[in-house]
Chains A and B, each alone.
Chain A
Amino acid sequence: MANHVVISDERCKACRLCIETCPTHSLEQGSRLNKSGYQFTRFVQNGCTACGLCFYMCPEPEAITVIKDDGKSGE
């Protein structure tokens, strides 16, 4: 599976720091609200390199997980 970012919908507080940071514009503001009332970020495949900058920019421990394509399937 290609490089990608998993956003945990309920963990996101919609600060948008990840969206601002992403060099490949692979993150964008979603339209749905989570249970805390935040319009959580969503991932769009736009050439993600799994650089991890969004992960470090995000203040929440569990909102972002970055997956790197290691050539194996079924990850």
Chain B
Amino acid sequence: MVKHTKPKTFYEDFVRKGGPGEKNTHYCPGCGHGNVHKLIAEVIDELGIQDRVIFCSPVGCSVFAYYYFDTGNIQCAHGRAPAVGTGLARSLENSIIISYQGDGDLAGIGMGAIMHAANRGEHIAVFFVNNAIYGMTGGQMAPTTIVGQKTLTTPLGRSAGRDGFPLTMCEIINNLAAPVFIERVSLGNAARILKAKKAIKQALVNQVEKKGFSFVEILSPCPINWKMQPIEARKWLIDKLEPVFPVKNFRNGDSQVKYDPPRPVSDEEMKKLFNLEKDISIKQKEEHISEQLVKLAGFGGQGVLSGGILLANCAIAEKHNTSWLPSYGPEMRGGTANAGVIISDGQIGSPLVDNPNFFIAMNGPSLDSFEDQVLPGGTILVNSSLIERKVNRSDIKTLYAPLTEIAQQAGAVAAATVAGITMYALSTGIIAVDTIRQVIPLSIKRKALIDENLKVVDAAREYYEKNLAKT
């Protein structure tokens, strides 16, 4: 009877090194990663969770874990496996997330990612392989290198006064409230390896039972970079590493905080958040519309972005698919700003409006920038209050209206784009002016300005009907 053999969670062949038929890992003789891989694979077999596991591998020697584990795999940016794991755990409810990381990955570049994932109590199992050195890059000092340990970059030994003390991650994470399980284990000998398997199993059982964030630090040898024989390395691990990194359980129990997983916001909550408690009745038009690529451009403070939102909200109210994409500089006022709005009855792929078929130019520089990009046959609405020149092109329709003055006379100079939107509605017929009137009270943040904005709509309609309707 076969009592111990290669776990089924491993692939039959490891294709990385030698193609089909290759069955060896890429790890050096005596490396601890192989031990940890075997333990994790065995536990996955025992729990019967192979098709639920997503293995997040790090940067470091174990970067190629996806060649070995026949599970879901994502190879993560350096140190970010806990962040990737967070996204997976939150979006795939039935998945079991493993974040497998080395000391440079977790305690060096990824320190921020692991601390915040632990602090949030994410439902992931972290296996932290600590070999006190940067292995893959050739043996430089790591965050967990012990004082006096000789590495490539500390040839005389790590000095606490110069390089700091090694970071003890279990102790650090044990200061946080959210984790449910924290244990440090060792690969020093067979008895320790069997204990390590128990800790790994507990961490994964915690994921199956939805208990929460589980952290297992595994002291592991790196014979090559420690410049030792494999057997000597295991002894050094027990003699030198274990006194600095005590092998013990730090926490095993229920979390002090209850995990509050993300959930969709209900329509009721959404209405409250956006002050949309008033219902409006908009008549939906029967006929389909042609896709509208609208660009509004001007300087910050002219209401370019909020004008775009108003237009988008009107289109949504009329049950069209809509996107709104703002683009602006770092200044809140006075810089250039533009907003692209796409209105369609089909699906909208990209929200970018590079070539509009309706362009509202609120100031001179905007007309200069975007005039040439308007599609042939499109329309440019020029704010003649601020733009003195005429449009150069002859293959497009042009409308000239003193948008800023119309808004100013109605008592809301900042609502010039509302005048522009109103004229867009009248010129294209895509949305009804009545829709704009109904949406303004919902779309405008400063309720004191609702009446002024409605006056701007009326004034713009009056101007359009008098001066532009026939063009």
Contact = CB atoms under 8 A, between A and B. Distances in A.
A23 B66 CA distance: 34
Q: Which of A36, A53, A56, A66 has the most CB of B within 10 A?
A: A56
B362 to A, nearest CB: 66
B30 A62 contact: no
Contact of B234 (A17, A67, A68): A17
Given A15-B230, A59-B34, A60-B34, A50 B190 contact: no
Contacts of A27: none
Given A11-B23, A56-B38, A61 B1 contact: no
B34 A57 contact: no
Contact of A60 (B1, B3, B24, B193): B24
Contacts, number: 95
A61 B38 contact: yes
A50 B1 CA distance: 10
Nearest to A52: B4
Interface residues of B, number: 35
A21 interface: yes
Contact of B230 (A17, A52, A66, A69): A17
Contact of B189 (A13, A21, A65, A66): A21
A38 interface: yes
B412 interface: no
Interface in A31-75: 36, 38, 50, 52-53, 55-62, 64-70, 72, 75
A56 B3 contact: no
A57 B3 contact: no
A62 to B, nearest CB: 5
B165 interface: no
Given A15-B30, A59-B32, A60-B34, A75 B1 contact: yes
Interface of B: 1-7, 10, 23-25, 27-35, 37-39, 41, 68, 189-190, 193-194, 197, 223, 229-231, 234
